[in-house]
Chain A
Amino acid sequence: MSLINYASREINCKLVYYGPGLGGKTTNLEYIYEKVAPASKGKMISLATETERTLFFDFLPVDLGTIRGFKTRFHLYTVPGQVYYNASRKLILKGVDGVVFVGDSQIERMEANLEAMQNLYDNMLQHGYDLTRLPFVIQYNKRDLPNAAPIKELQESLNPGWQVEDPLKQRTVPDPDRPGQFLIHQVDDIWVERVPHFEAVALRGDGVFDTLRAISKLVLKTLG
């Protein structure tokens, strides 16, 4: 949950980059760290193995301007992607304000994507959070690889959506980044919501800030 410090007039939000191992979560943070102005970022902390694989998490604080006189500081975390580090992933999710799921577009990693997404749903539920009501975006990384699966198939598998029960939310919402596509729309008389998605090549930085911008906006919206 976002932490508002009235004394220092700061709003602190926690974003977690989640996804399968070697999907590009750390690469996202490294690119952000590289590009953000020194005055707007803190130190990046990375707990990694000798082979540069995330052992526990990466951490990067980034300042994203001011809202109503309050400085907004986002704390970016990654999780270890390997399946058997679930205890760490669950711990890092605690207090989360927004989630970025970094999927690996390679067809060979599809099951790892599915398992990571399931693990995200499960861990959120075990914390008592409702992923369907929390700021949440998906990034499909490694779009430059020849073995990348088509976006349509990735969307069907990883972003199936959920039913919109709240009548107030039952209205067509176009996807601002994709003309002709919708975040909320009717399918066979059922209102379905999907989360925003982005294509990325994190090594080059493509799509990295689009993703960060989208999740930041969603989190700030929840602050009212």
Chain B
Amino acid sequence: MNVACPKCDTIFRVDPSKVPDRGIRARCSVCSAVFRVELSPVVVPPLVAPVVLPAQVVGPVAEAPRPAPRPPQESARPTGSVSAPVPGPAAPAIAAPQRPTPMPPSPPREGAGRPPAPFSAPAVPPAARVVSSPAPAPRVISTPASSAPPAQPATAPPPTPPAPSAAPTPAAPSVHAMPVASTTPRLAPAGPAGSGRPKRINNPFLSQDPAVKARRLARALVSDIVVYHPAKRQDGLRDGSLKVLFEEEIRKSWEEYTEQIGLDYAQSTPFFTEALNEILAEGHPVFS
């Protein structure tokens, strides 16, 4: 039978005899997501030409083996010499506060310097498919066409480098809008139209559309840049020096973006550049 990873949509061929009646948890060998695999009467024809390696079966507690945790990089050092509690399982955390640590100052935070940062929220491509189960269960594909990732545009835009060069591209007008088009919960049919199956709640956070995910991630990264550096952004807008001023922030955001969605997909879609132009550059085609 075929099983789709709910996170990266990779299709795996799984020998049904390896799956007990009560189901089993598996780890995707591509993105390390953990999900349940259950026996299903639905037989699915292979969708993707070469079938990748079967998902790795994991134990009861599965932590996805991501690349070694990257220590947060910040030019500033933490306040105080801290022997901090390790925020791992409850046990080490509990012993932590016994070490005296200076209290940080408590100035007004998080409310100050909120910049007006209007940005446009153009319509998002419709979700590639409807998720039938709200639980993190495996999805057995019943409609091959609906599970395929969104088609790439015929003319893929050029890769977006961390420090883009100036080349004017049309930008969407800047407007206030709630980006809820792709996320508002909807009652959606669980299966193919007309299948007669009951409708299900579509919780967008339990589904994975790569285009929606990539676009939202790009916009959130750029929105962070704006909200964390309001004064610098105003300087950049005024002097036309956004690219120079934010070179470091854009590079770090681009690295996180490509790490999460993959370099190929990042370079073949315009989401990151669009977010820079629409949110950071207030709709001006500064980045390309």
Contacts and interface: CB of A to CB of B under 8 A. Distances in A.
Interface of A: 1-3, 12-14, 20-27, 30, 34, 42-53, 55-57, 59, 61, 73, 75, 77, 80-88, 90-92, 94-95, 97, 106-112, 114-118, 121-122, 125-128, 130, 132, 142, 145, 147, 149, 153, 156-157, 160-163, 165, 187-190, 192, 202-203
SS of A interface (majority) = mixed
B228 interface: yes
Contact of B135 (A61, A83, A112, A165): A165
Interface stretch (B14-22, B62-70, B150-158): B62-70
B136 A114 contact: no
Given A56-B72, A84-B224, A162-B134, 9 more contacts: A3-B90, A43-B101, A49-B74, A56-B78, A59-B85, A111-B216, A125-B34, A147-B116, A162-B135
Contacts, number: 252
13 contacts: A12-B90, A24-B110, A43-B101, A52-B109, A56-B72, A59-B96, A73-B94, A94-B87, A107-B178, A111-B216, A118-B216, A126-B62, A162-B206
Interface of B: 7, 25, 32-35, 60-64, 66, 69-72, 74, 76-79, 82, 84-85, 87-91, 93-94, 96-97, 100-101, 103-111, 114, 116-119, 121, 134-136, 176, 178-180, 183-185, 187, 198-206, 213, 216-217, 219-221, 223-224, 227-228, 252-253, 255-256, 260
A74 B32 CA distance: 31
A3 B94 CA distance: 9
A84 B111 CA distance: 21
Contact of A114 (B33, B63, B89, B179): B179
A47 B69 contact: no
A133 to B, nearest CB: 9
A190 B220 contact: no
A126 B35 CA distance: 9
Nearest to B86: A91
